[in-house]
Amino acid sequence: MPAHPTPVAADAVTDAERLGETARFVREQDTALLLARVLPGLDGPELRALTDRCRFAHAALLVFPPDEAALRTELAACGLAADAEARPSVVVRDRLAARYGRRPEDLDVRILRPGVTGPAGERRAVEVFALAAPPGSGAARIAAAERVRDREAHLAFDVERPDPLVLRGLLASFARHGATADGGGYNPHEDGTVFYLTAPDDTKSPYRRVELYAGGDHRDVLAEHFGRAPGGGTAPASPASSEPAETLLRLLTGAWTTQALAACAELGLPEALERDAGTGVPELARAVGARPESLAVLLRYLAMLDVVAEGPDGFRLTGVGALLAAEAPYSMRPLALMYGGPFYESFAHLTHAVRTGEPGFEHLHGENHFDRFARDPELAARFDGSMVSSAPLFDPLPGHPVLASAAGAPGGPRTVVDVAGGTGELLGRVLTAHPALRGVLLERPHVLAAARTRLAVPAAEGRCSFREGDFADVPAGADVYLLSRVLHDWDDERCRTILRHCAAAMGPDADLLVVERLLPADGSPSLATAWDLHMLCNTGGRERTAEQYARLFADCGLALVGHTPLALGAHALHARRPAAPSL
């Protein structure tokens, strides 16, 4: 996204014009209004809390003068202080080096912060990253590519009175509203830590990158931030790490993190630990049946991941670790055991999947994972539990206008069919939110047994029926059809078959809601990118962009009406039959 609020093709705008546009933007913004635009889902209390902790400080852009004298001439022409001190920019320098395969020491990136005044007289700045790019130099080629993508442009908020608790709370707030971790680093030249995030898809800001700046060295929180990056395993080193070998080494240990979390769940550590008091290693070892010296090694690693915390009285459970407890609401224990078990084993065959297109799971087991799980009740229950772990992504869905409209429509009760709806987690939420609706769950026989228990609650009692079958058995005549996390399991041809069965069952006024993660069209980091690799290796399916889903719908006589963001990177795509042309 360009650094100026009105997007213009990057190659059609001079650096001087970009500087001027950015300066005007910084002078005009109000912190609260800007935060509300960056994170549209913020409510009043949370917006006030964020505004109390951060203030809009600057907008940043990367420019490419031939030398420092030319840069200062451009700054002066924009009314920006040309005498601002230029310091080395470690974070951006190393991001560019990693992006273009260059040695960091070969890139001369400077940072200047000429001051401007905000609408209430507050002091702000235009943060200018400058990569010296004389014509014909290697840096000139980087400049040409960066002018097109403008990947270092961002908004920045200074964190007031930063401490680890404040920083963790702010990062959690951004994550709750769809922002994702996108790097950062510690700059020893100014003793400051930056946390970069990608704004959510529904952001109203012209900037897609956001920086939280905290004075001081907060590399412990930064490590956790990297651990939340899409697809991250062990908290990877910052792109600003001074040694590329260290960065790669940390990335290569991601498998260790997966196994450490699975071991934590399998040993029952979350059940043996407490949140408010520490427990000594010998006592824990007796409780979980482990060798104390070996358990201590695992606990230290888990502490590095913030799954447990160590104090004078021993180890205690953190909020992250509590999610691995078997009885936790939407426990992620089954997910840890799946990712550390069957799916972990199949990832050893990722190279085969990339070379041949055959999923690693099928190559290892000789059958697809659905057939294997159907023959193994224990594994099937674990898989169903892992799907429930992600159920919070459904939280906003019962309020979707399609469901609200069906619930409020006059006449007899409207019907919602959940196609391949698992144990009924989503359908149960819909029926609980809308007492006027009836539900039908279509699933395989071994899954319906668990679903009948899940939906035997007073809120849904008498309003849900169960139908054994496959995609060819989608019942006709319903008002709303749901396909949640189904299509990404399959290739395009199988998706068309599934969608054609749904379209054949849908009346002219019926609606289809498809819940999936969407690949970003611009290649920016996302959870969907990580899951795309997972689908390749384990199911033979894939994640898709909104446009790719639109084409699948069109192939089956449906039209994409629109899509709305949900939690955990998911979206609800709304499709229906196109309106008949008027005569």
pLDDT tens for residues 467-476? 999 999 999 9
Q: What is the pLDDT of residue 396?
A: 79
Q: What is the pLDDT of residue 13?
A: 64
Q: Is the pLDDT of residue 217 over 70?
A: yes
Q: Is residue 486 part of a domain?
A: yes
Report the C-alpha gap between 35 and 48 in whole angstroms: 10
CATH of the domain at 301: 1.10.10.10
**What is the average pLDDT value for the chain, to the nearest integer?**
84
Within 435-526, residue ranges assigned H as helices are 445-454, 492-505
Indicate whether 57 and 125 sit together in one domain.
yes
**Confidence category of residue 84, pLDDT binned at 50, 70, 90:** low
Q: What is the DSSP letter of 473?
A: G
Task: Give the position of tokens 């990339």.
Answer: 354
Q: Residue 440: beta bridge partners?
A: 417, 465
Q: Is residue 427 part of a domain?
A: yes
Q: Is the pLDDT of residue 241 over 90?
A: no
Indicate whether 497 and 555 sit together in one domain.
yes
Q: Is the pLDDT of residue 9 over 60?
A: no
Q: Is residue 78 part of a domain?
A: yes
Indicate whether 52 and 176 sit together in one domain.
yes
Query: Which of helix, strand or coil describes residue 154?
Result: strand
- What distance lies between CA 418 and its chain's CA centroid? 25
Indicate whether 144 and 179 sit together in one domain.
yes
Instruction: List the domain range (segments joined by +) for residue 22.
Output: 10-237
Indicate whether 356 and 437 sit together in one domain.
no
Q: What is the mean pLDDT of residues 353-366?
A: 91
Q: What is the pLDDT of residue 190?
A: 72
Q: Is residue 247 part of a domain?
A: no
Report the C-alpha gap between 284 and 296 in whole angstroms: 10
Q: What is the pLDDT of residue 560?
A: 95
**Confidence category of residue 510, pLDDT binned at 50, 70, 90:** very high
Indicate whether 364 and 431 sit together in one domain.
no
Indicate whether 379 and 405 sit together in one domain.
no
Q: Is residue 432 part of a domain?
A: yes
At 151-189, the pLDDT tens digits run 888 999 999 888 887 888 889 889 888 899 888 887 776
Indicate whether 65 and 22 sit together in one domain.
yes
99-113, 168-182, 259-273, 419-433: least confident range: 99-113
Q: Is the pLDDT of residue 233 over 50?
A: no
Query: Which of helix, strand or coil describes residue 479?
Result: coil
Q: Is residue 481 part of a domain?
A: yes
Angle at 235 between CA 129 and CA 323, to 5 degrees: 130
The reply to whether 488 belongs to the active site is yes
Q: What is the pLDDT of residue 105?
A: 76
- The residue among 244 and 14 whose pLDDT is bigger is 14
Q: What is the mean pLDDT of residues 113-130?
A: 90
Q: What is the pLDDT of residue 8?
A: 36
Report the C-alpha gap between 175 and 178 in whole angstroms: 5
Task: Tell me which amino acid residue 504 is.
Answer: A
CATH of the domain at 560: 3.40.50.150
Indicate whether 425 and 471 sit together in one domain.
yes
The predicted model scores a pTM of 0.57
- The residue among 477 and 6 whose pLDDT is bigger is 477
Q: Is the pLDDT of residue 314 over 50?
A: yes
Report the C-alpha gap between 2 and 207 in whole angstroms: 7
CATH of the domain at 184: 3.10.180.10
Give the burial class of 322: count Cβ atoms within 10 A of its Cβ; 0-12 exposed, 13-18 middle, 19 or more buried: middle
At 12-67, the pLDDT tens digits run 468 888 888 999 999 999 999 999 999 988 877 788 888 888 999 999 999 998 88
Counting the structural domains of the chain, the total is 4
Q: Catalytic residue among 488, 534, 571, 574, which?
A: 488
Q: Which of 360-364, 410-414, 433-437, 512-516 has the highest mean pLDDT?
A: 512-516
> What's the distance, Cα to Cα, between the start and end of the chain in Å?
43
Token code pair at residue 170: 């702010």
- The residue among 372 and 291 whose pLDDT is bigger is 291
Token code pair at residue 577: 């039959």
Q: What is the DSSP letter of 367?
A: S
Q: What is the pLDDT of residue 373?
A: 79
Q: Is residue 263 part of a domain?
A: yes
**Confidence category of residue 6, pLDDT binned at 50, 70, 90:** very low
Q: How many CB atoms lie within 10 A of CB 580?
A: 7
Indicate whether 194 and 308 sit together in one domain.
no
Indicate whether 490 and 538 sit together in one domain.
yes
49-58, 139-148, 260-269, 468-477: least confident range: 139-148
Q: What is the pLDDT of residue 1?
A: 36
Q: Provide Rg for the chain, Cα atoms.
A: 26
Last residue of a domain, one of 293, 328, 363: 328
Any residues with CB less than 8 A from the CB of 462 and at least 6 apart, and which? none
Last residue of a domain, one of 237, 263, 284: 237
Indicate whether 314 and 211 sit together in one domain.
no
- The residue among 261 and 182 whose pLDDT is bigger is 261
**Confidence category of residue 350, pLDDT binned at 50, 70, 90:** very high
Q: Is the pLDDT of residue 481 over 60?
A: yes
Q: Is residue 335 part of a domain?
A: no
